[in-house]
Chains A and B, each alone.
Chain A
Amino acid sequence: MRRRDFLRSVTALSGLAFVRIGSQAWAAQNPNGAPQRLVVVLLRGAIDGLNVVIPYTEKTYYAMRPTIAVPPPGRENGALDLDRQFALHPQLAPLMPMWKERSLAFVHACGSPAETRSHFEGQANVESGTPGVKITSDGWLNRTLAALPAPHGATEAVNFGPTMPLILRGAMPVASLPSAGGGGGKIAAPPLIHAGFDTMYSGTDSLSAAYREGQSAHSRLMSDLEQDMSEAAAGAPSPVGFAQDAAHFCQLVRKDPTVQVGFFALSGWDTHVREGSIQGALPYHLRQLAQGFAEFRSGLGEKGYANTVILVVSEFGRTARENGNAGTDHGHGNAMWVMGGPVRGGKVYGQWPTLAEEHLYQGRDLAVTTDFRTVIASVLTGHMKLSPTAVAKVFPNATASTLPILNA
């Protein structure tokens, strides 16, 4: 967002005639003063988890990927050792401090039980939280909001992007900010002739409800960001892309403790062609992703980070073997990332199926040994304090199980 747009919007806002719930007042009523926070990052296009959390001790890995394998730790441009079995892609070096302080974990060989290699279905599965059920019209993150304790403010959840993704669709209101990486580009100027619209949209119909929520969320977001713009201007150069969105989110939550959920979607992971080992399409995008995570780590502050869990998920993984175009095709199992203060990190969780031919899914992909919902449910239970009944509503068809990925 350019500063000029921003100032204009704020000036325009100052005359708006709605009741503002003071965020500070809400925080004062909250005995903890620090609600549990959940950030979900969806990597659309299926990231190649085998080149992110790399099974470098398996010869098969190098045999299957003659041109795109990442060199093992210790070699020039080698991967960064995690636990003597797996290593991290070198472009993710900014994540190593979090690994070392044990606030970053991975769960390998995760995925959906519903078989699909279509991005469209795969993302719908991951967003609806009901793999294989194609008619689900709301998302698991929205159902999570419904399970959080009241009051549900207009900015309880913030989506970065121009439209509401399936994962956030549903009964609960969600606020939106434009994403630096996606279309849109700037926060919509609030309608200047609000008094007239206030009259028109004063009913009980769906448009009026959306109008009022929109006005309320918008004013909250704008005022929260306003206070921080001046602070940010004095600091380092503005981050770009995902890191910029992450910075915006951090600014918001520092000012407004009622923001409990953030959602980001990033694309560019569908690396069928020239995926690259240490340079190429995947490394390029990984670097941007890493910058965003570094931004979360510093921007949330120690207190904020201590109350935040960041989940990274993709619709499915990619083929174990590289294809004829030095890329990878749609696969099955993948690694999920879990980061944040509450995370019992420094560990790669999950049952590793290995890349041995007989253990590959349909002879070509990393198998799935952990349902992606198990990882999310672990966070919802352990971190967001949802009851098993509430989690069963978020994931209606999942078998109840959790992993010990959070600190007790």
Chain B
Amino acid sequence: MLDNATALHLASRIGFGPAPGQIDHIRQLGFESYIEEQLNADVNLLPTSLQAQLHRLPTFGKSTTELYKQYWFKALAQMAGMGKIPHEQKKLLKKITNEVGPEARMARLARAIASPHRLQESLVDFWFNHFNVFEHKKMARVWIGAYEDQAIRPYTLGKFRDLLLATARHPAMLVYLDNWQNVAPGAHAHGKATGINENYAREVMELHTLGVDGGYTQSDVTALAHVLTGWTIGKDFSVTGSDGDEDRGVRGVFAFMPRLHDNTPQTLLGRKFNRGGQEDGEAALLMLADHPSTAKHVSTKLAQYFVADQPPPGLVSNMVEVFRKTGGDLREVTRTMLTSRDFRDPANIGRKFKTPYQYVVSMARVSELDPRKAAPLAEELKALGQPIYGCVSPDGYACTEATWLDPDAMVRRLSFAVKFGSGAYHKTYLAQSDYGSMNKQIHLQPEQGGTPLNSDRLLEALRANLSGKTRTAVAEATKDHRAGLILGSPEFMRC
């Protein structure tokens, strides 16, 4: 049988900490078998109750076209009668599209808490941040959940190039990094003359593939922007060409529009792109996916998330080798990382400081929070500075202690731990319907009381090797305060 400490490490690093009974499951399977179970899981197979919860969300599983019609188009229609008062229009838009975001957050949290596919949930957290999209940018509001489900989740253990292309063509990314408006100089789109917009071309090299020191220059950014002109969204703007019979594509999904594409030959990283059309853009992205700098950038970031804030160089170079040998097979790269000596090195165990997201989800898991009551956790994450889908900048949320540990963050976390341990959270939310109330601002009030979480059950679930100080503090506290102390302990802040 695998020892408790190693099993706890697996549960903590892969999938936000243990739920009751999980440590036993891991111990029985053993180290390698558990990792294989997670690497080979059919992630679409979810427990019936979780599946049912997801499918009760009206926006879950909808196509981007449907979401566009039902939410964005509706909002535009209502705004048409409002005149030109931008902030009033903004408010209305927010109200209408606010149905989608909270449901997407609910779908994310429910799976993060209750899905048996723990590795998948961590990888979704990692890859969403790698290919970050900020919810509150234009139509991304209505596509944010679809983006995660269509462009991230299916590819977490596939080929990196497929993940890259799926994100590049997703309307949420096209809007977020402006490529839908990146058109050949002089081309007429959206009723006005526009031209090159470098935003996506820059970020795809700096953040998604090569990395900031990956060996590209400003002229590569400009060249890639030209290559990617005409990669846009169907029918969202009218195209007026000389002959006026442009194929306008399907509303709400990726479309390549030849008339908006600049066929001028370009040189990107020393290679000529002169075939024209969508082919050039795809070839350029594939070249970036296969670039050695990309293997290094991606491996370093993965190791930082799963192993240590300062990733061990030896591990990274092994991952890079596997990445290159397998053509960017993420299952193989992830396996290499998780079965490495570095992943199990005692120096790397219990040393990562949880991000607010990891912290909050780990609390929900260890206390067996009903995933249907997860909505207010999204509010708490706002207060902790990590709102889901709320990272404005394209680099996504970082996962390091340097980013998240500060004095005020400690006070906030401990306050939440106490509130959560006191049972106030559970009591408040047991009274609510499944998800009907999620649009309302929720404030948890400690004085509302509730039944404190059972501290013995928490300790049993955690099998934590608690320090003497923590054990003393828990033992000396009154019974009602023990759960809050465990959830606020240094051991539970880290993973």
Chain A positions near chain B (C-beta within 8 angstroms): 8, 44, 115, 117-120, 123, 134, 137, 154, 159, 161-164, 169, 173-176, 178, 183-186, 188-193, 195-197, 199-203, 205-208, 210-211, 213-215, 217-218, 267, 273-274, 276, 279-281, 284, 323-325
Asked whether, in the complex, the Cβ of A183 is within 8 Å of the Cβ of B407, the reply is no
> Which residues of B have CB within 8 Å of A195?
473, 476-477
Asked whether, in the complex, the Cβ of A210 is within 8 Å of the Cβ of B203, the reply is no
Asked whether, in the complex, the Cβ of A193 is within 8 Å of the Cβ of B407, the reply is no
Asked whether, in the complex, the Cβ of A217 is within 8 Å of the Cβ of B418, the reply is no
Q: List 7 A-B contacts (CB under 8 A).
A: A174-B407, A190-B415, A196-B481, A196-B485, A214-B407, A274-B86, A284-B86
| B408 adjacent to chain A (CB < 8 Å) | yes
List the 3 closest A-B pairs by CB distance, nearest first. A324-B192, A214-B407, A163-B385
> Which residues of A have CB within 8 Å of B394?
120
Asked whether, in the complex, the Cβ of A202 is within 8 Å of the Cβ of B469, the reply is yes
In Å, the complex CA distance between A267 and B419 comes to 31
Q: Which residue of B lies closest to A191 (CB)?
A: B414
Q: Are A207 and B405 CB-contacts (below 8 A) given A200-B469, A201-B490?
A: yes
Asked whether, in the complex, the Cβ of B406 is within 8 Å of the Cβ of A174, the reply is yes
In Å, the complex CA distance between A159 and B406 comes to 12
| B401 adjacent to chain A (CB < 8 Å) | yes
Query: DSSP class of A's interface residues: helix, strand, loop or mixed?
Result: loop
Q: Are A188 and B415 CB-contacts (below 8 A) given A176-B406, A196-B474, A217-B407?
A: yes
Checking B84, B407, B415, B470 against A176 with a beta-carbon cut-off of 8 angstroms, the contacting residue is B407
| B330 adjacent to chain A (CB < 8 Å) | no
In Å, the complex CA distance between A137 and B494 comes to 22
Q: Which residue of A lies closest to B488 (CB)?
A: A197
| B417 adjacent to chain A (CB < 8 Å) | yes
Q: How far is the CB of A293 from chain B (nearest CB, A)?
A: 20
CB proximity to A under 8 Å, residues B417-451: 417-419, 443, 446-447
Q: Are A281 and B87 CB-contacts (below 8 A) given A120-B393, A217-B408?
A: yes
Asked whether, in the complex, the Cβ of A175 is within 8 Å of the Cβ of B446, the reply is no
> Which residues of B have CB within 8 Å of A210?
405-407, 409-410
Q: How far is the CB of A89 from chain B (nearest CB, A)?
A: 16
Q: Which residue of B lies closest to A138 (CB)?
A: B402
| B489 adjacent to chain A (CB < 8 Å) | yes
Q: How far is the CB of B179 from chain A (nearest CB, A)?
A: 14
| B191 adjacent to chain A (CB < 8 Å) | yes
Asked whether, in the complex, the Cβ of A164 is within 8 Å of the Cβ of B406, the reply is yes
In Å, the complex CA distance between A184 and B390 comes to 13
Residue among A173, A176, A199 having the largest count of chain B Cβ atoms under 10 Å? A199
In Å, the complex CA distance between A186 and B411 comes to 13
Question: Which of B45-53, B193-201, B333-341 has 4 or more CB atoms under 8 Å from chain A?
Answer: B193-201
> Which residues of A have CB within 8 Å of B386?
163
> Which residues of A have CB within 8 Å of B485?
193, 196-197, 200
Contact-residue size bin, chain B (C-beta under 8 Å from the other chain): 35 or more
Asked whether, in the complex, the Cβ of A183 is within 8 Å of the Cβ of B387, the reply is yes
A-B pair count, CB < 8 Å, reads: 156
> Which residues of A have CB within 8 Å of B283?
none
Q: Are A183 and B469 CB-contacts (below 8 A) given A188-B412, A211-B410, A214-B408?
A: no
> Which residues of A have CB within 8 Å of B473?
195-197, 199-200
Q: How far is the CB of B297 from chain A (nearest CB, A)?
A: 13
> Which residues of B have CB within 8 Å of A120?
203, 393-395
| B118 adjacent to chain A (CB < 8 Å) | no
> Which residues of A have CB within 8 Å of B44?
none
Asked whether, in the complex, the Cβ of B469 is within 8 Å of the Cβ of A215, the reply is no
In Å, the complex CA distance between A281 and B87 comes to 7
Asked whether, in the complex, the Cβ of A162 is within 8 Å of the Cβ of B382, the reply is yes
Q: How far is the CB of A97 from chain B (nearest CB, A)?
A: 27
Q: How far is the CB of A9 from chain B (nearest CB, A)?
A: 9
Q: Are A192 and B382 CB-contacts (below 8 A) given A197-B485, A284-B87?
A: no
In Å, the complex CA distance between A176 and B383 comes to 12
Asked whether, in the complex, the Cβ of B446 is within 8 Å of the Cβ of A189, the reply is yes
In Å, the complex CA distance between A193 and B382 comes to 24
In Å, the complex CA distance between A133 and B361 comes to 35
Asked whether, in the complex, the Cβ of A218 is within 8 Å of the Cβ of B202, the reply is no
In Å, the complex CA distance between A214 and B385 comes to 16
> Which residues of A have CB within 8 Å of B408?
159, 164, 175-176, 188, 214, 217-218
Asked whether, in the complex, the Cβ of B472 is within 8 Å of the Cβ of A199, the reply is yes
- 1/0 per residue, CB under 8 A from A, across B294-308: the answer is 000000000000000
Task: Given contacts A123-B393, A189-B446, A214-B410, list 4 more A-B pairs with CB under 8 A.
Answer: A186-B443, A199-B469, A202-B469, A211-B407
> Which residues of A have CB within 8 Å of B382?
162, 183-184
> Which residues of B have CB within 8 Å of A273?
86
Asked whether, in the complex, the Cβ of B190 is within 8 Å of the Cβ of A324, the reply is yes
Asked whether, in the complex, the Cβ of A200 is within 8 Å of the Cβ of B489, the reply is yes
| B384 adjacent to chain A (CB < 8 Å) | yes
Asked whether, in the complex, the Cβ of A193 is within 8 Å of the Cβ of B383, the reply is no
| B493 adjacent to chain A (CB < 8 Å) | yes
In Å, the complex CA distance between A123 and B392 comes to 12
In Å, the complex CA distance between A207 and B393 comes to 27
Asked whether, in the complex, the Cβ of B411 is within 8 Å of the Cβ of A215, the reply is yes
Q: Which residue of B lies closest to A176 (CB)?
A: B408
Asked whether, in the complex, the Cβ of A193 is within 8 Å of the Cβ of B418, the reply is yes
In Å, the complex CA distance between A202 and B468 comes to 12
In Å, the complex CA distance between A190 and B488 comes to 12
